[in-house]
Structure 1
Amino acid sequence: MIHRLYEKLLEMRISKANLPGCIAIVLSSGDLFDEGLDKLRDIIEWSRSMGLASLVLYINDNEPTLCQKIADTLRSSPAQISLHTADADLLTGSGGRMRVTVSLGYGGKREVTEAFRDLLSEVEEGRLIPEDIDEKAIESRLRFSQKPDLVIRAGGKQLSDFMIWQSAYSELYFTDVNWLRLRKIDFLRAIRDYQGRERRFGR
């Protein structure tokens, strides 16, 4: 009862006018075994109920059958959901206003490397001159266009290399609560903490 009241109080204190435009959550390898898959549905529903526009989930795991398991689990979730592995993309979800991106084992180092390879190929083919390579040119060739306002690390103190370009100015939030034990109240605390910060964007 007290837990529910505190959850409602936190939700009331969160300003809907200052929500993160995009939240990214970094999971550990193995977090999506068994009931960990069901937690994906929970986090999408919590995000949708708060009015978030974009959610990104990174799992440092590229187990061959995991992508299809996630697609099946989230098939009825009310969001536009895209799943990404190193070799393929897959769409799922029942549609809706919120955009959800799930990356499986596709890290930022590989993403940036592939973007630079594309640029190099275009230069070699004469379709691009080196002087035209700037931040916008690089960003347009990255696989993920989102720039998270808030990155949450569930159950750990170390970040992965996911979205290393896009998250350069993101606010970071670390919680000792691991993925399986993550509750809505923990998610709300992260958003509340974000809203209490003064963002400097690298300044």
Structure 2
Amino acid sequence: MLLLKLYNILSRFGVLKIYEKILENEISKDDLPKHIGVIMDGNRRMARLMGDKPTRGHYLGAKKVRMFIRWCVDIGIKVVTLYAFSLENFNRPKEEVDTLMDLFEREFIKLADDEDVHKYKINIRAIGRIDLLPERVKRAIEYAENRTKDYKNHFVNVAIAYGGQQEIVDAVKRIGKKIKNNEMDLDDISVETISKNLYTAHLPYPNPDLIIRTSGEERISNFLTWQSSYSELYFCETYWPQFRRIDFLRSIRDYQRRERRFGK
């Protein structure tokens, strides 16, 4: 709560806006990550900090998603993948899961009807085991995907009912089926073959250059397990609903200061 008060005081005096401008000037538009993955962590802890129910944190987190997408579009990021709901999250209390499903339904419809999504031609896609979701959520996802399927300027993927290891299992099953049907040989299996059978195969840049995780936790949590083999990782103490444009710009600056050698 003290940090929130400090943030409000600094905002009132315009200090953060000045710092934001400094960060913008430090970032090179020629070396931006093409694909950013985000583990949006800390919604429930943020709600508890406010003395509210965990579900309140999820609503605040959803609001931040729309802001984050706009930040990425404005700066020139091509692909964003947001970790919204893992397969393990189904084990949370029923009330919380039901609230999240209501929220997902609402947010996919909002994205589909958002003027900026159509203005900037943002392709919306859900990745994961979508068949496990309630029908109302699947309908909302289908609505968003159909309305934006022809857009190629930017790509926003929402990882929902998602698990990185399970994604690899699904890819292997697809490959196995092709071998069984004599559509390919065992010797045809390669890194490229597996990549082409992952949920992210439709993307121009399927592997994230940068993965951001909020809330201070420092782990990947089964997110883009295959695709993240050479991703730069950025861990931020801020809870997701509190994530500011300053935090976003810091992550880009940090990314650009690193030397990416890819094992060389």
Is the aligned partner of 1:108 residue 2:121?
Answer: no
Structure number with larger C-alpha Rg: 2
Is the aligned partner of 1:57 residue 2:82?
Answer: yes
TM-score (norm 1): 0.91
Greater strand percent: which structure? 1
> Counterpart of 1:7?
20
Query: Across the two proteins, how many residue pairs are aligned to each other?
Result: 203
> Counterpart of 2:229?
168
Q: Output the aligned Cα RMSD.
A: 2.1
Matched letter for residue 153 of structure 1: R
Is the aligned partner of 1:135 residue 2:191?
Answer: yes
Is the aligned partner of 1:153 residue 2:213?
Answer: yes
| Further displaced range: 187-196 or 94-103 | 94-103
* 1:84–1:102 CA contact under 8 A, matched in 2: yes
* 2:127–2:199 CA contact under 8 A, matched in 1: no
When residues 113 and 66 of structure 1 are mapped into structure 2, their CA distance, relative to the original with a 3 A threshold, is farther
Structure 1 position 105, deviation (Å): 2.6
Q: In 1, distance between residues paired with 2:42 and 2:162?
A: 13
* 1:109–1:164 CA contact under 8 A, matched in 2: yes
Greater helix percent: which structure? 2
When residues 144 and 70 of structure 1 are mapped into structure 2, their CA distance, relative to the original with a 3 A threshold, is same
Structure 1 position 112, deviation (Å): 0.3
Q: In 2, distance between residues paired with 1:133 and 1:57?
A: 29
Matched letter for residue 74 of structure 2: S
Structure 1 position 170, deviation (Å): 0.5
Matched letter for residue 37 of structure 2: A
Can you give the 5+ residue segments of structure 1 that lack an aligned partner in the other structure? none
TM-score (norm 2): 0.71
Is the aligned partner of 1:84 residue 2:140?
Answer: no
Matched letter for residue 260 of structure 2: R
Q: In 1, distance between residues paired with 2:229 and 2:154?
A: 23
**Residue identity (%):** 33
